[in-house]
Structure 1
Amino acid sequence: MSDATRLPHEKGFHVSWDQLHRDARALAWRLDGTDWRAVVAITRGGMVPAMIVARELDIRTIDTISVRSYRGTGPVDQGDLEVLKRPDDTLMGEGEDILIVDDLVDSGRTLELVRQMYPKAHFATVYAKPKGKPIVQSYVTEVSQDTWIFFPWDMALQYVRPYRGED
């Protein structure tokens, strides 16, 4: 089967809630040592990691930026970028001592747009793909460009029958 016909789950990286929590704490450990004025989560995926990082680093000022790029479930469904919600302008300035957190940098398009808005901010993601890696200053785990990451909020647990027998 060629990569062109491969379904996203066939080269998938499944992240559990527990793994995401450990990885977000590892990201916080890498970010320690700076007096961040605020954490800004890129919605929606960056909200959980940003909350964990903010808790670990005792940062009480948290805001969000909402950028829509994906329409559907795959990279071919990535459309024009649209900022739906911005953080407070008086807080942000050019982003100095602001920590911007997302779950993943893939192509880097979303973070490039946000970096144009806040050029002095520090960009951190839990996971990074090679195309987007140059956009971030901090990340925890690199995955290949053709790997689809399944985050815990995208998944549901369900019963799976055993190969043999009934239980």
Structure 2
Amino acid sequence: MENPAQDKAFPVSWDMFHRDSRALAWRLSSEGEWKAIVCITRGGLVPAGIVARELGIRTIETVCIASYHDYDSQGSLKVIKPIDPKVIDLEDGEGSGVLVIDDLVDTGKTLKVVREMLPKAHYATVYAKPVGVPMVDTFITEVSQDTWIYFPWDMGWQFQPPLSKETAG
């Protein structure tokens, strides 16, 4: 299936993602005392692990929401696994002291669903697109809305053609 944003591809290597996730942790280190992390699966798993290590957070919970169904468009959202009520109730029952981590905020629809569960949590992503920026409290890198981010877990080792056709060959 051809991706309409293929011309604006943003490939992210493991090294780059690790560096950006550590930068997120550094930025979050001055934002408060964190009692727990809720990561949005699947993309939030890796940055949540890195942030948890860097900030010494031991309680990590997941919320499982399916949204991208065909890699071209965002379908309807479905909560597959909700957040454990023990994490929601850590402080005030609304998520105070909880970090919500994801790899990317695109349209903000996924974060909106989670914000309904944890309205007072702090929302952080590694990457952000303009439409989703209002839904996130902290992020590292903003890319244009029509850019497709290729995360390291989505890629294999293969030749990448140059941007200019004159460079090829």
Normalised to the residue count of structure 2, the TM-score between the two structures is 0.88
Hey, what does 1:110 align to over in structure 2? 110
Is residue 34 of structure 2 the alignment partner of residue 36 of structure 1?
Answer: yes
Secondary structure of the residue that 1:130 maps to in structure 2? coil
Tell me by how many angstroms 1:90 deviates: 1.7
The one-letter code matched in structure 2 to 1:56 is E
Q: Does the 8 Å contact 2:21/2:50 carry over to 1?
A: yes
Corresponding position of 1:80: 76
**Of the candidates 48, 51, 60, which is equivalent to residue 50 of structure 1?**
48
Moved over 6 A (4+): none
Partner of 1:155: 155
Q: Structure 1: how far apart are the matches of 2:44 and 2:16? A: 15
Counterpart contact for 2:44–2:103, Cα < 8 Å: yes
Residue equivalent to 2:11: 14
Q: Provide the secondary structure at the position in 1 that maps to 2:78.
A: strand
Mapped contact 2:61–2:87 kept (Cα < 8 A): no
Alpha-carbon distance change, 6 to 110 in structure 1, aligned in 2, over 3 angstroms: closer
TM-score, normalising length: structure 1: 0.89
Percent of pairs with identical residues: 57
Count, aligned residues: 157
Match of 1:156, SS? coil
What's the Cα RMSD here? 1.8
Please report how far the alpha carbon of residue 9 of structure 1 lies from its aligned counterpart in structure 2 after TM superposition. 2.4
- Which residue of structure 2 aligns with residue 139 of structure 1? 139
Q: In the alignment, residue 8 of structure 1 is paired with which amino acid?
A: A
Deviation at 1:24, TM superposition (A): 0.3
Deviation at 1:6, TM superposition (A): 7.1
1:85-104 → structure 2 map (5 Å cutoff): 85-92=81-88, 93-104=93-104
Tell me how far apart the structure 2 counterparts of residues 147 and 105 of structure 1 sit (CA, whole Å): 12
